[in-house]
Structure 1
Amino acid sequence: MKEKTIIIVGGGQAAAMAAASLRQQGFTGELHLFSDERHLPYERPPLSKSMLLEDSPQLQQVLPANWCQENNVHLHSGVTIKTLGRDTRELVLTNGESWHWDQLFIATGAAARPLPLLDA
């Protein structure tokens, strides 16, 4: 019997913790994490005024740098998803590559929106 494939969309703390939890709970199937950011998942809450004032702020990674490799998690960073086919269970990237999933976890979070009232 073929093992299941789980795809996680997102590059933040929730996505990283979902991958870690799946492995901790004994999931042994294929596990893919897709993010449009080019680095490992990091903690976003520390992105506050104090961090912005630092000359070279250090992002606090959620998982150690080698965690994905050691836990057989395929990290696809710096990629953009073109379509998520709910009926076909297929993820297609803008470069044409595609993957099929048995289960999909979307952990994309939210994007900050500038307020038109503030000209900062």
Structure 2
Amino acid sequence: MRLNPLFENMSTTVFERMSGLARAHEAINLGQGFPDGPEPVELLEAAAWALQERGNQYPPSRGLPALRSATADFYNRFDGLNVTSDNVVVTSGATEAIAAALMAVITAGRRGRHHRAGL
């Protein structure tokens, strides 16, 4: 079975390359948020509790309401913004955030006001 050429010919990401180089040179990987050492026991216990007592399925597409609300509260308090959880989308990483931001403002087939035929 052949893969879609988009994936068959896909090169490694910068994250894969940087992680490989960091391993090869026994360096600290600043390209991703890997933990530097063993996780604190309190964190592991809190994560286990959350998995057992709270949900462990996919969250709503815009993020968990409590997390969105806490995020809005944070930016209101520390950055002086006036946002609600309706103004917040939680993603699982920067790539997903960029894609969500672009998809929020770009519509296929629509041309901007500065579009000129032939350009």
Per the normalisation by structure 2, the TM-score is: 0.23
Per the normalisation by structure 1, the TM-score is: 0.22
Higher helix share: 2
Q: Which has the higher contact order (CA 8 A, sep 6+)?
A: 1
Higher strand share: 1
**Larger radius of gyration between Structure 1 and Structure 2:** 2
